[in-house]
Structure 1
């Protein structure tokens, strides 16, 4: 009985997103893991920046066992020594693009950043469906666009792609800043990073289109809102949710086990169905109605564009200063 009680007292803190992601975790992921392993999971809600800051603040005295962040902040976390190397079985279970930061973190779900638009508004106003990142500069959208800020991964993706297609690169974002300031900024009603606020602006009709993520659009579609998302012809940027086992945390074996569970086909199916995240484990099988809504299969995975996060993270503070000074004035 004493041994059984000790096992029952095992606890693991998992830090991850709120909103619809948290709902899937609490309803379809965590209860099964707790039941099958006779453990208790404490779920700590926060965006990527918040949870990365918590990991840094707890260095040497970690309470977080597993962290789930966007892929960019996750690469930064690993670079700061906050993530442990992946077990081989976890590393080898995913597509190569989902092996992050020298195999210290693993992608747990594929999304992409594209252009979301209100299908009803576009039909009523007879507007052409956007096909390019540069469609954000079309004059008919004046004051009806929202773009997340540079503090948000979607904002980083916007700057990177506008820079690339206007002669710049991940290490030279000056062309992107110029185009955003001169051509796109007049159309922007708000630089909004809050998913809740973005949803409200779509629902109120204040905005007709936005740079946003496929999983956010999927959540609004499931709620019945007529939102669609396109992958611009120049490419859509992969946005992975990524997990790592935190260095120096209690219960390291349990953390590794939970991370492996996150990329198991059953959990990948749950996130694809309920959150709109494409599976990073190629062994995951999706029904056609789900597969059609997410990144699925080797061909689609190969088409995704990634950023050089080492370069981006090294220059992120400078990008932020210049964005705030030149774009979001």
Structure 2
């Protein structure tokens, strides 16, 4: 497979059935149809409903149902359903890496951008052939100044075994955490072995592993630990919630993150799928996600207040140093990485 276009180019442009149905199924009198959305739960699911589904789609007559689960479970479900004439979801929310994986597995449709009126405002490199980037951020170092008195400046400073049980990582972010650790150990995005060795050293020193982003935030809030890595967008949310946490862009370059949506090949309502994709690119929806979740918009007509942009965005120099995943490498080795994570690091 050809490696997708660099996320650095994306951001340079910007700088210049596991889960239950989640929220209302209400539809207006027109009754346009039902859209089933595969998504993570928590804050993200709530904000999809608040900023996209209720004000745009449900208002316009669509019925929207969220099927919430972790992305490994949802990707497994897509693979299991791929030969069925009719699947159970119309769109699936995935990271850029997981979008590539599902494309490589032959489970998703190419995107017809001619069906999306808001595609004209989409950043060019967010137009994947097989999916669409909705929001983006970068993986930064996070710390509580009360517990970590010497401010970190790099991934290497974060993944230092000397922190002992004051270092925390997140189970569901195993892919990105392993890459950050590899960069901290002097490795590369295409060679995670140095990172695996460093993570084991941190584990032996007392490193904590939290199951979810929300559990990680609670640990920060209770001062159970004091340093780790997280998306810059989430840090803004936590700061808004009164958690004592500071973000630093690592000197190695922040690992870029893009979240988006794909359409399964056997989606039962493809018109509804395109309606959802178009709604997520709506100017108002994109601006609301920047305010509510701290992620950067992927459309050029969205307006972000200067003070908020300073908190959620990256400088031109930081954008130039953003680090891309090697999607093909990660895809080919993901099963082995997950097995090592579960059976070795977490054991």
Q: 1:96-141: per-residue Cα shift (whole Å, max 9, x none)? A: 44233xx11111000221211123434xxxx121111111344652
Shift of 1:293: 2.2
Contact (CA 8 Å) 1:112, 1:213: kept in 2 or not? yes
Corresponding residue of 1:44: 67
Corresponding residue of 1:129: 151
CA gap of 1:160–1:140, structure 2 versus 1, over 3 A, is closer
Quick check: 1:163 aligned with 2:189? Answer: no
Aligned pairs for 1:153-232 (under 5 A) are 153=173, 155-164=174-183, 166-182=185-201, 184-232=202-250
CA gap of 1:187–1:274, structure 2 versus 1, over 3 A, is farther
1-side partners of 2:67 and 2:248: how far apart? 32
Corresponding residue of 1:141: 163
Aligned pairs for 1:67-78 (under 5 A) are 67-78=92-103
Mind listing any 5+ residue stretches in structure 1 that lack a counterpart?
A: none
Taking structure 2 as the reference length, what is the TM-score of the superposition?
0.82
Q: Pick from 96, 99, 115: which aligns with 2:127? A: 99
Q: 1:268-288: per-residue Cα shift (whole Å, max 9, x none)? A: 111110011111112221111
CA gap of 1:69–1:267, structure 2 versus 1, over 3 A, is same
Corresponding residue of 2:140: 114
Quick check: 1:291 aligned with 2:309? Answer: yes
Corresponding residue of 1:257: 275
Aligned pairs for 1:44-63 (under 5 A) are 44-59=67-82, 60=84, 61-63=86-88
Quick check: 1:65 aligned with 2:106? Answer: no
2-side partners of 1:117 and 1:260: how far apart? 37
Corresponding residue of 1:83: 108
Shift of 1:300: 6.0
2-side partners of 1:324 and 1:28: how far apart? 35
Contact (CA 8 Å) 2:249, 2:318: kept in 1 or not? no
Mind listing any 5+ residue stretches in structure 2 that lack a counterpart?
A: 1-27
Contact (CA 8 Å) 2:57, 2:279: kept in 1 or not? no
Quick check: 1:10 aligned with 2:8? Answer: no
Shift of 1:298: 7.6
Corresponding residue of 1:319: 337
**CA root-mean-square deviation:** 2.6
2-side partners of 1:137 and 1:81: how far apart? 37
2-side partners of 1:298 and 1:245: how far apart? 33
CA gap of 1:321–1:56, structure 2 versus 1, over 3 A, is closer
CA gap of 1:35–1:296, structure 2 versus 1, over 3 A, is farther
**Local SS of the residue matching 1:306:** coil
Contact (CA 8 Å) 1:51, 1:69: kept in 2 or not? no
